[in-house]
Each structure stands twice: as structure tokens, then as C-alpha cells.
Amino acid sequence: MRHLMSPLDFSVDELDRLLDLANDIEKYPNKYAHACEGKKLATCFYEPSTRTRLSFEAAMLNLGGSVLGFASADSSSASKGESVSDTIRVISCYADICAMRHPKEGAPLVASQKSRIPVINAGDGGHQHPTQTLADLLTIRSLKGRLDNMTIGLCGDLKFGRTVHSLISALIRYPGIKFVLISPEELRIPSYIREDVLRANNIPFTEVERLEDAIPQLDVLYMTRVQKERFFNEEDYVRLKDFYILTKAKMELAPEDMIVLHPLPRVNEISVEVDDDPRAVYFKQAQYAVYVRMALILTLLEIKVE
Ligand code: CP
């Protein structure tokens, strides 16, 4: 039985096969409409979510399966003090696979160690968000035609943004990847990513503060929200929240074939006027997330569709 805690749980070959499957699902959705009949997905979300929870649920429904779960810790017995270890033991009696989001880093990993069903990390604190990375990789590969030989700009809250941490870990395995890390001093990438992931693997990267300076050299610009819920101090959040706003004027500095991704939700960091730019692909990215989560469910449940 396999779980998914980090994008590194899949080899590059396995990732390629998963993305191929997601592309096939996009092309021939009817072929997969009954693949999970009789199977149940539990969505255990101890933290708010729109896309991840609902796209997982849409994915399982599209596969002919069914869904149960809870959308907040308050509506589960966690509010009475139940541990994630006990909760997953119980969920293992009710469902065939579980997607779990939790504010504590490592909580889905703890759950996976007691689980009798595959557990998927749907975001753990400021740590990892591997299924967002699968959606990001599928979006980039589908729209740019490759995952190698690119300059990727990551902009915003690189300290707390778990999607950024997972995406860097996944992309360093492809040749010719360079990163431009665009953030204010206080929201720089954590040192364990800078040292243990980037420097340890000799991955070229620069750290800059001005988006305008970086944007002309990028193939992909990955914007992120300042993660209000991870700040200890409201004043710091208010000071940093509008540090970056991607506008039409800034998009004029970008290459014609650059694409803009954002895991969403967006607050102010991309002006709505950018939404009509064909390079703005963040809503397509949310659609790709359904295909890739369908592919992930099939893979972890070891269901093959001929
Ligand atoms: N991208 C993402 O994780 O969005 P939600 O928080 O809405 O699930």
C-alpha cells in the first residue's frame, strides 16, 4: 500500500506515467467514468480549503466512486481531543482512500503510519502540498510541452508557502531547471530548502526582491499569496500582504510565451485585469488539478483502465 506525503514519493518515471494518465483522462473522460465504482474517498480537512477538497471530491465522483468526510476540525471529533492516529484507524473502516489536510506539519504522515488505507497529504502546515505540485507539473507540461530546461520564478511568500516547497523539490529532478526566488527579506525560502535541496543538488538559483527585474527572463511565473494564517503577528502580515501585485503593466515586461501560475486562493497579488491575458493560466491549473487527482486516486488504488 502506498501513501503520498511528498512529491518525492514518486520517481520521475512514475510522475511521468501519472501525468500521462491525467492527460488521457482529460481526453477520454468517459473511459474512466466507472473505474472507482464501489470505492469511497474520505476527505478529512482540519483546515479550510476550496480547491483541494472539492477537486478531490469531483475527481472521485468523476470516477464513479463516492465521497464522505469533514471540512473542518470543529465538525469532527478532533474538537473533543481525538488524535489523527485514532481518527485514521476509524476512517480505515469506512473508506478505501483518504485525503487529509492538517495545520500541523507531519500530521498526515503520522496518520499514514496507523492507516490501513492509502493516505494523501492534502497540505500540512507550511510544509508540503504534493497534490498541488502534481497539478502544477501537469499544467506546466501540458502548456509548455516540457518540464526541463526552464527558468521558473517563484514570487511572494516563499517562507510559509508549502506549494513552493513541494514544487521546488519536484522540479530539481528535471535537467536544466533554474529558479529565481522573488520575495521580501522576511519571506525568503526556508534555509532547509536553500541549503539541503537547492545548494546540495547544485541547482542554479538567485534570490531577488523586485519582480520587475526578474520577469523578463522567466518561462514560468508562480505567484503565491502571503499566508496570513501562518503569521504570529497581524502587523507583519498587513505590512507584507501587498508587497507584490502582478499588473498588466508588469506583464508587459514578461516574455510572450511565459505562463503565470498561482495555486489560488488569490487575494491581491494578481490584479484581476491580468485574468484576460492568455498567459494567465491559474484557472486552467485548477481544472488540471481534477484530472491529476483522478490519476492519483487510480494509481494509489492500483486500478487499471484499459
Ligand atoms: N490550492 C489550494 O490548496 O487551494 P485550497 O486551499 O482552496 O484547497
DSSP 8-state assignment for residue 10: S
Active site residue 129: yes
pLDDT in the model for residue 236: 83
Structure confidence at residue 145 as a pLDDT band (50, 70, 90): very high
The answer to whether residue 80 scores a pLDDT higher than 80 is yes
Hey, what's the cell of 129?
502540498
Q: Is position 162 annotated in a ligand binding site?
A: yes
Q: Say which CATH topology domain 130-285 has.
A: Rossmann fold (3.40.50)
Hey, what's the cell of 19?
501525468
Compute the distance from residue 51 Cα to the ligand 1 centre, in Å: 5
User: Which CATH code is given to the segment(s) 7-127+287-300?
Assistant: 3.40.50.1370
Nearest residue by C-alpha to atom 5 in ligand 1: 49
| Catalytic-labelled residue, pool 129, 141, 241, 262 | 129
220-270 pLDDT per residue, tens = 999 999 988 877 788 888 888 888 999 999 999 999 999 999 999 999 999
Whose cell is 484507524? That residue is: 89
Does 214 sit in the ligand 1 pocket, CB within 6 Å? no
| Residue 218, amino acid | L
pLDDT in the model for residue 151: 98
Does 265 sit in the ligand 1 pocket, CB within 6 Å? yes
What is the H or E stretch that residue 208 is in? strand 205-208
Q: Is position 265 annotated in a ligand binding site?
A: yes
Q: What atom in ligand 1 is closest to the CA of residue 55?
A: 8
What does the pLDDT average to over 289-303? 98
Q: Do domains 7-127+287-300 and 130-285 have the same CATH topology?
A: yes
| Catalytic-labelled residue, pool 51, 173, 188, 194 | 51
pLDDT in the model for residue 260: 98
Active site residue 159: no
> What span, in angstroms and rounded, lies between the C-alpha atoms of 297 and 306?
16
Active site residue 101: yes
Instruction: Write down the mean pLDDT value for the chain.
Output: 96
147-203 pLDDT per residue, tens = 999 999 999 999 998 999 999 999 999 999 999 999 999 999 999 999 999 999 999
Domain ranges of the chain: 7-127+287-300, 130-285
Q: Mind giving me the DSSP string for 189-207?
A: PPHIIIIIIIGGGT--EEE
Active site residue 139: no
DSSP 8-state assignment for residue 274: G
